Structure 1
Amino acid sequence: MLDIDPRVRVDVDPLMAAQHDLGVCDATWRIAPGGKADAMSAPHLPKVAGIDSAVTASAQTVAPPPGSLSATTAATTARTAPAQAAPPAASSIIQDRLAGMVSDLTTLHELTERLARAADLDSSLREFLRAGAALVGARRGLVVLEPSDGLGPAATIGLGLGRADLGHIETVPRSATSYGRILDGLPDAHGGSEVLPEPGAPAPPGAGGYEPPVDPRHREVAARLGYAASYALPLTADATGRLGAAVWLYDEQAEPSDRQRDLVGLYVRHAAEHLARMLEVDRSRTRLATVAEELLPSRLPRIPGVQLAARHRTGPLGGGDWYDALPLPEGAMGLAVGSVTGSGPSAVAAMGRLRASLRAYAVMEGEDPVAVLSDLELLLRLTEPARSATALFAYCEPAARKILLAGAGHTPPLLIGERRTEYVETSLSAPLGMLSCWEAPSVEIEPAPGETVLLYTDGLLRRTGDPMDRAYARLHAAAAGLPRSAREDPAAVCDHILRAVLPEDGPGSGASGPYQDTEDVVLLAARFD
């Protein structure tokens, strides 16, 4: 049994509780110091919701006023009163209210748990909109992310609203909407309900005379989209300040009840802190992706006899996958792809150092790919002994359509043409940094005119979520099914491979692989004329 201080009581009038649907906040606000136990003006209730009363209830706790019935008469009257006026009726009402409070807390717990499972900012905003709509009883809504610090990102996400609908809403002047005034930072903008008059109905007079309360453009957009009321709330976090605003739209003239306002207010306060954390994560990922892109070639060289194209997708954690293409003496060309173990800023920095070193070795002794990778392995083992990497370097002579390549634990290239689609059989070798001395024989291939050599990293295979043998088969089938119109453009080849191998790539795809959306992906295609 709980030890409850008799100086604290819950003062809930039975009639008021019956007339008003008290929520979690209403019942909490009515908990207040009640003075001394012997001066309480109401009898202690019997056992409620499994909690026994700490003090034995008495028939009367204060002396009757002059002229009233005596104590004996009052006690007799209380014993002979009808059953419907007995205290158990009030006890039943209190139990119903407590059951409602427990239900509200359970709902909030489930919704916040679902929000906490969102992995990125976009999915968090969508889950926030769905939960808020369920709490206020609306069907549609939108959230505008516009941080007050001006660092971005700025985004508008709708629930039950298409891009065209959002475009119509954005044509309404911001000062004409409650959520727009929140975004503008007006001091008197706190959100709340906004009921739009029916089309053709006269507008009520305003504070300064007869003036329409709703902007004409707002009336027009509301009539086109079919909503008649809205409920807006600001998104504000303690650490970052104003993040944006959310608004939910009602199909009819309606507004949330007091209980719904309390629940959605509690949820929005919690969700704003979660969205602030996701915002910082998104900004960090964007900055890391920008650094990784700057460390890769800004453009590919133009070399007679060969066409080049590349695609790079950075994972949310920032990986160390890279590619390179550089012209070499006597009309030759060097192609390289690789992957550094680990993720985050350290892996990105190691990737930049490794790529720069390989460029230097390729210029000095590029005609011998084995020597290039051997020098790279020695550098990696001496400077970063705790890190390993895979790499593939190819020395190409476009005029002769001849390629000499060597790989260190890397995925084999794929040769794509009209008459054949096959993997290049490279010698089995360990990744760089795994052995005391690395060396493996090189392989020479001669692509036919019009054939494309595709270099890629293992992130393309891992993102499928399939075992490696099935992932290789999936990549081969995608290359074999390349349309004839796309074979002459290496960029079209890369795009087709990405669409075919990763058809559900992106946030919210539902793929269950452990590497889904976490691995970097690099494709480098070279088509020989």
Structure 2
Amino acid sequence: MSTLPPSKVAGIHPVLPTVPQTSRPADDAAIGGPGGAHDRLASWISDLTTLHALTERLGRTRTLADALDETLRAGAELVGARRGLMALRPCDGLGPERLAGLGLGHADLGHLETVPPGLGTPFGAGLEGGGDLTEVVHRDIPREDSLGPRHREVAARLGFAASYAVPLAAETPGRLGAAVWLYDEPGQPDPRQRRMLSHYLRQAAQHIANRLELTRAQRAVRTVHEGLLPPRLPLLPGVSLAVRHRFGPRGGGDFYDALALPDSAVGLAIGGATGTGPAALAAMGRLRAGLRAYAVMEGEDPVAVLSDLELLLRMTEPGRCATALFGYAEPATRRLVLASAGHPPPLVVGAGRAVFAETTLSAPLNMLACWEAPSVHLRIEEGETVLLYSDGLLHRTGEPLDRAFARLQTAAAHASPAARADPGALADHILRTLLPDLDSPAAADSPEDVVVLAAHFA
């Protein structure tokens, strides 16, 4: 009597026949063993986790210098080194060239730079034109006769006995430079360490290339911005001028000017076009050029100057607004006539006062159908300084405008007598007090330009 096969039910498979056992089970050692497979899997997961953490850390760097430093630190962790350096020398020749060190002082980097370049030096990998990019390993520098005497001398002076150098390259622009890690004792990274470093550097090189492109773009914007502003301030009897300017990374539209006018007068101007980038820079350049022309023709009437400036803005940039403040000063009589279009009021600083000039509240240029505001006449006392500043000075404090104005006034009031007598020193004091971290890498990300223009009347 034959046995019927088990019926098939949806979702339930019949029992599979048992595979007969051989008389001798497979040798675990022949396939690495269950423990070996688990160990390899755990090792791969550990490596991926490490690379993920290091790559995330690299992605948080915002500047080119930070990216180079982080790449050196991560590479040192991966290959078990304590010190290292990276030479950034893009093959397209457009720069910038940088030298970054890990655990090395400026004097140490200076010594390393005296080693003649070549594949037998820490700078050799990937820095010379032509040829394939390759790693360079020196596992025992004191005993390697192929190295030059200067190389061994510098190694002995700095106390490293081995080095591991690798090229740094990205799809664009190609060769970026090289990195080298230094060992205190003879040795070299093992294959696993080299493999992990290779995976990491593929990501790091592209990140550095992106930061390099951004640095070049910011440098180009800065060059254009500087070219659109006065190369120097005029030297005039009866008044001393000074300016402090910090650029935003994307090229803001803030401008300033000081120009000599007929009858020994001086025109003081500050303002800013809305927006950032090349379009804002172009608008700023047109505004400043137009303001200079109108100031020469009718500078005694600041209201007329700003009215003509609004007409220029309306015709050339119908969708853009701008703030502006223009002052006509006679140093001999210390008379100052001001007109403002939506710009913060000047601050008059002297031995007995630090007060804001009461300019009439008005809208920015090109915001309303027609700009209109009366002029304001001020009498400046001997030894007092008039501060003109951009709204970026207030915005970068990160506080509400009323508190930012109060902080500015307090900072000016507490300036020392020596600072009040020197417009440059007073501007520096204002910046240090209001924005102590102005020149830090974190502040470089702010889109706001900062301008302080000081005129001291003798």
- Alignment TM-score, normalising by the size of structure 2: 0.89
- Counterpart selection for 1:96 from 24, 39, 49: 39
Contact 1:401 1:448 in 2 (8 A): yes
Contact 1:464 1:516 in 2 (8 A): no
Contact 1:505 1:517 in 2 (8 A): no
- 1:105-120, aligned counterparts within 5 Å? 105-120=48-63
Q: Secondary structure at the match of 2:241?
A: strand
Structure 2 unaligned residues grouped into runs of 5+: 1-15
- The aligned counterpart of 1:517 is 446
Contact 2:123 2:180 in 1 (8 A): yes
Does residue 382 of structure 2 align to residue 449 of structure 1? Answer: yes
Contact 1:178 1:189 in 2 (8 A): no
- The aligned counterpart of 1:492 is 425
Does residue 49 of structure 2 align to residue 126 of structure 1? Answer: no
Q: Secondary structure at the match of 1:422?
A: strand
Kindly state the Cα deviation for residue 335 of structure 1 after the two structures are TM-superposed. 0.5
Contact 1:332 1:395 in 2 (8 A): yes
- The aligned counterpart of 1:268 is 201
Q: Secondary structure at the match of 1:222?
A: helix
User: 2:18 and 2:141 mapped to 1: Cα distance?
Assistant: 55
**Two-structure CA RMSD over aligned residues (Å):** 2.5
Does residue 455 of structure 2 align to residue 526 of structure 1? Answer: yes
User: 1:188 and 1:273 mapped to 2: Cα distance?
Assistant: 19
Answer with 1 or 2: which has the greater Rg: 1
| Paired amino acid for 1:101 | W
Contact 2:259 2:267 in 1 (8 A): yes
- The aligned counterpart of 1:296 is 229
What count of residue pairs does the alignment treat as equivalent? 442
Q: 1:138 to 1:298 in 2, by over 3 A?
A: same
- The aligned counterpart of 1:309 is 242
- The aligned counterpart of 1:193 is 137
- The aligned counterpart of 1:67 is none
Q: Secondary structure at the match of 2:283?
A: helix
User: 2:166 and 2:403 mapped to 1: Cα distance?
Assistant: 49
Contact 1:123 1:508 in 2 (8 A): no
Kindly state the Cα deviation for residue 502 of structure 1 after the two structures are TM-superposed. 2.0
- The aligned counterpart of 2:83 is 140
User: 1:173 and 1:56 mapped to 2: Cα distance?
Assistant: 73
User: 1:470 and 1:426 mapped to 2: Cα distance?
Assistant: 19
Contact 1:365 1:371 in 2 (8 A): yes
User: 2:434 and 2:133 mapped to 1: Cα distance?
Assistant: 49
Kindly state the Cα deviation for residue 310 of structure 1 after the two structures are TM-superposed. 1.4
Q: 1:152 to 1:89 in 2, by over 3 A?
A: closer
Kindly state the Cα deviation for residue 274 of structure 1 after the two structures are TM-superposed. 1.7
- 1:325-364, aligned counterparts within 5 Å? 325-364=258-297
- Of residues 240-249 and 176-185 in structure 1, the stretch that sits farther from structure 2 once superposed is 176-185
Q: 1:223 to 1:470 in 2, by over 3 A?
A: farther
Q: 1:470 to 1:352 in 2, by over 3 A?
A: same
Structure 1 unaligned residues grouped into runs of 5+: 1-54, 61-74, 205-211
Contact 1:179 1:234 in 2 (8 A): no
Deviations 1:362-412 (A, max 9, x none): 112111111211221222223312111111100100100111111111112
Contact 1:147 1:243 in 2 (8 A): yes
Kindly state the Cα deviation for residue 150 of structure 1 after the two structures are TM-superposed. 1.0
Kindly state the Cα deviation for residue 525 of structure 1 after the two structures are TM-superposed. 1.0
Contact 2:125 2:167 in 1 (8 A): no
- The aligned counterpart of 1:76 is 23
- Alignment TM-score, normalising by the size of structure 1: 0.78
User: 2:28 and 2:71 mapped to 1: Cα distance?
Assistant: 46
Kindly state the Cα deviation for residue 213 of structure 1 after the two structures are TM-superposed. 3.0
Kindly state the Cα deviation for residue 90 of structure 1 after the two structures are TM-superposed. 1.4
Q: 1:136 to 1:474 in 2, by over 3 A?
A: farther
